[in-house]
Structure 1
Amino acid sequence: MTLPELPQIVIWLAAGAMLGAFYFWLLGLSVAAFSQDGGRGRAFLFIVLRLAVAVAVMTLAALQGTGPLLLTLAGFVVIRTLAVWRARGAE
């Protein structure tokens, strides 16, 4: 790793982390929408939106190469782990 590569690493990790935060935020919104009367339409919208954004970000990373894709996935997995820990603590 050279110094010029470091900003790219940070950018792709941050992109994965932001994707993960957005994804799990929308997941929470879709779960909450299912519990409301007539919330199925909103829940469906949140599901489609979170999957579309995840596919778009991962596709963009994949088009840049294996490294960016793996870094984006790593950032996403870190946020997923935090979300699982937070959900288990809420039980």
Structure 2
Amino acid sequence: MPDSEQLRNELAEWISEILLVQVDPARDDAAFVADYGADSMDIVDIVEKVEKKYAVTIRNDEVGSVRTFGDLSKMIFRKKGERHS
């Protein structure tokens, strides 16, 4: 699993490509909808990419709790930790 900084940089790059905006990996509080203009399909694209890249499953009921960059990065680390324990 990548370290925290590497994961955050990868996420910022992918999200920037999907949303066509500059995403700052240091801003945990940046909201996908309010700050980056994401819509529900953008969130689905981001989640699908994360699931494939990191071999994790984000359930539909969990997607609603992913509102910020920090929410997503923390969820990935938590899920990767669950797989390795």
Decide: shared fold, TM above 0.5.
no
- Report the TM-score when normalising by structure 2: 0.33
**Which one scores higher on RCO, CA 8 angstroms, separation ≥ 6?**
1
Q: For the pair shown, which has the larger CA radius of gyration, 1 or 2?
A: 1
Give TM-score scaled by structure 1 length. Answer: 0.31
